[in-house]
C-alpha cells in the first residue's frame, strides 16, 4: 500500500501532519500528541495507522506558539509547551480537524476515530466528549489527568465529568509502573465509566512504564507496545469499519 504523507492546514489555520493510503477512500483517525508536539514519533504513528488503511491526521495544537516541539530529553520544555494549552481551544481545534477530514474525498466522513498518547490520551477523551456525533472510537494511551488530578492552568475540563457525553466505545492503556498515573487513578476513571454505563476496555501492562509505546523513549516496552498496537487496530477495525458500512 502506497502512503501519502504531507503537512496540511485547516480552514482555521491549524496545521497538522496527514498520512493516508493513496487512491483509497478510508475511515479516518485523529492522532493527539504527547507534550512533546507533532514530532517524528507522532508522524510515524500516523504513517503506521495509514498503513493499516486509515487517513491519520495529527493536529498541531501548538500552532499558536513560536516553539512547537520539544525533545524527549527535555521534559521541562515539554511541560512548558503543554502549560500553554487551553482545553476549550484544543477541543475547538480538534473540531476544525474533524471538519477538514469530513470534507476530503478520501475520507469516509461518518467513520472517524480518536487516539492519543500521554497528554494526548486525555485529549482523546475530551475530543470524543466534545464531538460525540463524529467520533466513533476513542483510544487513550497512558492518558494523564483523566480523573482531574494536578490540572494545568488551561485544563478547565474534567474528563470524569466530560466522559458522560461520549457515545463511542473507549479503549484505555496503562503501564503498571507509571509514576504519573497511579492505580487509584485508573480505578477511579474505570469506576466512573462503569457508573455511566460506557462501553470501554481498560488494559494495564505489568512491568510497563509511562510512555511504553514510544520507541524513542527509554521507557519503551516492546512487548506491551506490540500487544497494545494489535488491540488498537482490532478496536479501530471493529468500530470504524462498522461505522463506515453502516453510514452512521
- Using DSSP's 3-state secondary structure scheme, residue 158 falls into coil
Q: What angle, 0 to 180 degrees and rounded to 10, lies between the N-to-C axes of helices 119-130 and 87-103?
A: 70
Query: Among residues 210, 199, 136, which one has the least CA distance to residue 173?
Result: 210
Q: What is the DSSP letter of 217?
A: S
DSSP bridge pairs for 238: none
Q: Across 1-117, where does the E strand assignment appear?
A: 3-9, 15-21, 26-32, 55-59, 107-117
CB-CB neighbours of 62 under 10 Å: 21
**Contact (CB, 8 A) for 226 and 238:** no
| Interacting residues of 191 by C-beta distance below 8 A, sequence separation 6+ | none
Catalytic residues: 118, 178, 210
Distance CA 134, CA 147 (A): 24
Amino acid at each position: 500500500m502506497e502512503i501519502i504523507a504531507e503537512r496540511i492546514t485547516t480552514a482555521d489555520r491549524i496545521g497538522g501532519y496527514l498520512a493516508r493510503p493513496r487512491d483509497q477512500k478510508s475511515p479516518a483517525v485523529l492522532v493527539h500528541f504527547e507534550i512533546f508536539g507533532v514530532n517524528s514519533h507522532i508522524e510515524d504513528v500516523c504513517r503506521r495507522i495509514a498503513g493499516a488503511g486509515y487517513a491519520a491526521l495529527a493536529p498541531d495544537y501548538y500552532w499558536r506558539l513560536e516553539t512547537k516541539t520539544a525533545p524527549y530529553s527535555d521534559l521541562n520544555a515539554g511541560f512548558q509547551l503543554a502549560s500553554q494549552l487551553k482545553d476549550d481551544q484544543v477541543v475547538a481545534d480538534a473540531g476544525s480537524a474533524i471538519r477538514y477530514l469530513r470534507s476530503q474525498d478520501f475520507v469516509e466522513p461518518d467513520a472517524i476515530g480518536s487516539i492519543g498518547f500521554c497528554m494526548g490520551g486525555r485529549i482523546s477523551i475530551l475530543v470524543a466528549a466534545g464531538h460525540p456525533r463524529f467520533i466513533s472510537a476513542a483510544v487513550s494511551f497512558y492518558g494523564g489527568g483523566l480523573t482531574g488530578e494536578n490540572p494545568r492552568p488551561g485544563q478547565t475540563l474534567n474528563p470524569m465529568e466530560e466522559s458522560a457525553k461520549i457515545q463511542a466505545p473507549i479503549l484505555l492503556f496503562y503501564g503498571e509502573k507509571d509514576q504519573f498515573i497511579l492505580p487509584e487513578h485508573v480505578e477511579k476513571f474505570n469506576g466512573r465509566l462503569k457508573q455511566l454505563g460506557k462501553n470501554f476496555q481498560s488494559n494495564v501492562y505489568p512491568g510497563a512504564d509511562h510512555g511504553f509505546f514510544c520507541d524513542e523513549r527509554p521507557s519503551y516496552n516492546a512487548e506491551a507496545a506490540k500487544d497494545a498496537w494489535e488491540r488498537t487496530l482490532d478496536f479501530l477495525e471493529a468500530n470504524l469499519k462498522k461505522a463506515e458500512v453502516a453510514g452512521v
